[in-house]
Amino acid sequence: MISSQWDYATGSSTHLYKEIPLVGDGTSSYNVFQMTFAGEYYGGAALQWAVEIMDSSGNTRLYTTGAQYYDVNQMLVVGLPNVTPAQYSQHTDIVYRCHIWVKKKNGGNISRTDMYASNFTWYYNRSEQVEENTLPPEWLETTTYDIENPLSTVTTVIPSDYDITTQDVDPFLEIPEKITAAMQGCIFWLGRLLNLKYVSFLLCFVLVVGLVAWLIH
């Protein structure tokens, strides 16, 4: 935008105004998610901007910064609703209507002739619906393939002369002689130990004291 394209806001000498439409192709859907404004003023005066987004008819407000003004070059995240061609109303090429206000950060009077060239940028997603009357031929191809069964059956045949009897298994269940002798030795010496004087008393005393200590704990 050049300086001559700005207008003065109604009844104000401190704000400039500009309406900018987002023009589509009449068939696609659009969704604006960010926008930014960049501009400079004669003498280097700091500028701020505010924005209001309307639908294509200009009757429904979709987004506004309200009384909040932002520094130039600051990105705004807006998240406007997705607009489809059927929502374009009678304006089949306009998606949104954007109203921009610019003022000096110090609030002083502003002159459009002192505005350098500035720009307003939309960031949007564009979606186009492509209709296909017939299915692609590759979708209708029939392919056959024989798959080998990976689960093979295995049969184990036991010879008829192989007889499993109880006598064949019993020897494996008998306790070896050396283990039996060791167990008998342990029982003998344990009995001798318990027959010693005060041993049984000490064992009982330790068990009782341990039980009492556990209960107290």
Residue 1 contacts by C-beta under 8 Å, 6 or more apart in sequence? Answer: 18, 39, 117, 118, 119, 120
User: Which two structure tokens, joined as six digits, stand for 57?
Assistant: 């008819």
* Cα→Cα distances 112→14, 74, 118, 210, Å: 10, 21, 12, 97
Confidence (pLDDT) at 177 = 75
Q: How far apart are CA 80 and CA 57, in angstroms?
A: 15
* Cα→Cα distances 117→51, 69, 129, Å: 18, 20, 37
Q: pLDDT by residue for the chain (217 residues), tens digit each? A: 899 999 999 888 999 999 998 888 777 888 889 999 999 999 889 999 999 999 888 888 999 998 999 999 999 998 888 877 555 455 457 888 899 999 999 999 999 899 999 999 989 888 877 776 677 777 777 777 777 777 767 676 666 666 655 455 555 566 677 777 888 888 888 777 777 767 777 778 888 888 888 888 7
What own/partner pairs with CB < 8 Å and gap ≥ 24 does 6-13 have? 6/102, 6/112, 6/115, 7/112, 8/112, 9/101, 13/109, 13/110
Among positive and negative, which fits the CA dihedral 58, 25, 23, 70? positive
Asked whether 110 and 46 are in contact (CB, 8 A), the reply is: no
Question: Helical H runs in the chain?
Answer: 166-173, 177-194, 199-216
Confidence (pLDDT) at 115 = 92
Q: How far apart are CA 42 and CA 34, in angstroms?
A: 28
Q: What's the pTM?
A: 0.56
User: Which two structure tokens, joined as six digits, stand for 109?
Assistant: 């009077």
Q: How far apart are CA 18 and CA 120, in angstroms?
A: 10
CATH numbers and ranges of domains, the chain: 3-127 (2.60.120), 166-216 (no CATH)
